[in-house]
Amino acid sequence: MIKVGIVGGTGYTGVELLRLLASHPRVQLQIITSRSEAGMPVAELFPNLRGRVDLRFSEPDSAALAGCDVVFTATPNGVAMGMARELLEAGTRMIDLAADFRLRDPAEWERWYGMPHACPELLEEAVYGLPEVNREAVRAARLVANPGCYPTAVQLGFLPLIEAGLADTGRLVADCKSGVSGAGRKAAVPTLMAESGESFKAYAVPGHRHLPEIRQGLALAAGSEVGLTFVPHLIPMIRGIHATLYATVADRGADLQALFERRYAGEPFVDVMPPGSHPETRTVRGANHCRLALHRPQDGDMVVVLAVIDNLVKGAAGQAVQNMNLMFGLPEDSGLGQIALLP
């Protein structure tokens, strides 16, 4: 059994990790940390785990965590980088759900996250955990940077067009909507029901911190810098991301449906839907899937890719478990067989 620790077990990605890992056939949950709830039984805070998780929250303690085979950090940005050296030196592998190891360039990290990087020497070693791009590197990794939620949907949607050299990479547009669980469990006025319910708004239009992460991934695929306009929106639902992606594709003869189907053939968690489909977020709610659909309205040169994921699953905890499976040589879909609930 793989001994697992979770730092930040009371947040939304933490409890989602618990939901997935509690029924994983090869995992033994060992430590779940929370500073605010230390001592409380996990199943008292989260009764959906009654009878499945028999642990109490504990204070984060590096020595105890170092006894685990792998530690998931489901903590605010900037926490994991303070623990990484010690855990890796102890031989514990690490999967960070925050952004601490996603950007290769420490200056970019400092610019977007407003703090110096605590261990820039680990940035080169960290593997960006998008399995559909980096599967082999993830298998061998000690330290995985689990991608952000928007970056997962946007990259999976754009990558086939960019890798094939078909899109004008100077003018990509990603128009994205997220449910409020994307903002985490901490109390905040913008995510109160009376503030976000029955309303809809864009935010961070001048620059969201997922912009450099998405640009970095797309530039690697394109082989050069890309121009991207990324506009996130907060939508009054709890889970889910819907990305509407626009790219100019001059080659009107290209069979894009076939291109996407070939690119994701054999991928356990990417579903290229039949031509003309309009994927719905509820079809991935609670599941680790990304569903994609392609459109070329009026047979013009503007291609529209629609991508949906659950921000807490393929956008966070599910992808983290997928990465753990790869790191430990398990079938990639172990513990990830959930089907979305309809209605």
Q: Which positions touch ligand X2W (CB under 6 A)?
A: 77, 98-99, 148-149, 178, 180, 182-183, 210, 232, 234
Give the residue at shortest CB distance from ligand X2W.
182
Applying CB under 6 A, does 37 fall inside the site for ligand NDP? yes
Residue 30 identity (one-letter amino acid) = Q
CB of 210 to ligand X2W, least distance (A): 6
Partner in contact with 232, chosen from ligand X2W, ligand NDP, none, beta carbon below 5 to 8 Å by kind: ligand X2W
d(CA 143, CA 102): 11
**Greatest C-alpha distance within the chain:** 63
Query: What CA dihedral angle connects 98, 104, 107 and 112, to 10 degrees?
Result: -40
The pair of structure tokens assigned to 50 is: 């009654």
Please confirm, yes or no, whether 149 is among the known catalytic residues: yes
Residue of 121, 149, 152, 116 whose CA lies nearest to 134: 152
Partner in contact with 318, chosen from ligand NDP, ligand X2W, none, beta carbon below 5 to 8 Å by kind: none
Question: Nearer to ligand X2W by C-beta: 144 or 256?
Answer: 144
Residue in 1, 23, 35, 229 binding ligand NDP, rule: CB under 6 A: 35
d(CA 235, CA 241): 9
3-state secondary structure string, 6-32?
A: EECCCCHHHHHHHHHHCCCCCEEEEEE
Residue of 70, 60, 63, 86 whose CA lies nearest to 8: 60
Tracing tokens 């855990």 back to the chain, one arrives at: 87
**Which of 24-32, 35-43, 118-126, 292-300 is the region at the interface with ligand NDP (rule: CB under 6 A)?**
35-43
Residue in 97, 221, 235, 293 binding ligand NDP, rule: CB under 6 A: 97
Partner in contact with 5, chosen from ligand NDP, ligand X2W, none, beta carbon below 5 to 8 Å by kind: none
Question: Nearer to ligand NDP by C-beta: 79 or 273?
Answer: 79
Phi, psi at 323, each rounded to 5°: -65, -40
**Which of 179-187, 230-238, 278-286, 289-297 is the region at the interface with ligand NDP (rule: CB under 6 A)?**
179-187
Strands 270-272 and 241-248: unpaired
CB of 98 to ligand X2W, least distance (A): 5
Partner in contact with 35, chosen from ligand X2W, ligand NDP, none, beta carbon below 5 to 8 Å by kind: ligand NDP
> Which SS3 state, helix, strand or coil, does residue 277 take?
coil
**Positions marked catalytic:** 149
Which chain residues interact with ligand NDP by CB under 6 A?
Answer: 7-14, 34-37, 60, 74-77, 79, 97-98, 148-149, 181-182, 184-186, 311-312, 315-316
